[in-house]
Amino acid sequence: MNKSRGIFIVVFLFLICLMSGCGKKELQAEDVISELKEIGAYSCDIAIHNKNSKQTVTYNCKQYYNSQFGHRLEIDDERILIFKGNDISINDLNNGAFYSTDDDFDSVFKLSFVEEYIGLLYTDEEIKYVFENEEGKNIMLIYLNIPGSNRNLNKAVMYVDADEVVPIKTIIYDFQDKEKIQFVYENFQKSEDVGEERFQTK
C-alpha cells in the first residue's frame, strides 16, 4: 500500500512539473538569431527618438521591408523614403516634391530598419547577447558594433522578444556609450504579403 502511494505521489509531482513548464525547452540564442535571419519581409509602426545635446526629436513612422524590393519609411505623414541599394527616393507629401539622393544623405533613418542589424548578425564577429525577463517576457539583448567612422553611431543594442522572435526596440550609442537614438517597434508583423507596389518610385 505504501509502495503504491509512493508511486502515485511521484507520478503526480511529475505531471505538475510538466504543467508548470519544467519540461519547456531552454531558450537558445542561436535559435533566436537563426529565426531573425529568416525574416524576409515585415511591416511595423516605429517611433524614432533622436537625441542631441539640447533636445530629443521624435518621429512617428510606418515601416515596410521586403528583401526583394527594398525598404520603405513613412515619416509623420509628411515624407516617404524608399531605400533601394545605395539610393534613396524621397516623396515630400507637403509640397508634392520628389527627388532622389544617395544613402550618404541619411545617417539615421536607414538605421531604423531591422534588416540593418540582421545583416550585422552575419558580419559582426563580436556579437554578445544576454537574456532578461521583463514583466514575464523573455527578452534577448543583442550587442552589435556599427561599422563606419561615425563616432555618434558606434554601437547598437537590439531588444528582441525571444518567444515571438520580434524586435521590441534598438538603442544606438556613441563612442562614449551615451544613448543617441532609440527605435521603438510596435505591431511588428512578419509577412511575405508586403508587395512590390509599396516600393515603387516615380
Examine the pLDDT at 114 and tell me if it is beyond 80: yes
Q: Report the CATH number at residue 98.
A: 2.50.20.10
**Contact in structure between 75 and 94 (CB atoms under 8 Å):** no
Phi/psi at 160 (nearest 5 deg)?
-120, 130
The total number of structural domains in the chain stands at 1
The average pLDDT across 92-100 equals 87
Position 20 confidence tier, pLDDT thresholds 50, 70, 90? very low
**Is 6 a member of any domain?**
no
Over residues 31-55, the pLDDT tens digits come to 999 999 999 999 999 999 999 888 9
Over residues 121-130, the pLDDT tens digits come to 888 778 899 9
Determine the structural domain holding residue 138 and report its residue range.
Answer: 27-199
Tell me the whole-structure pTM to 2 decimals.
Answer: 0.82
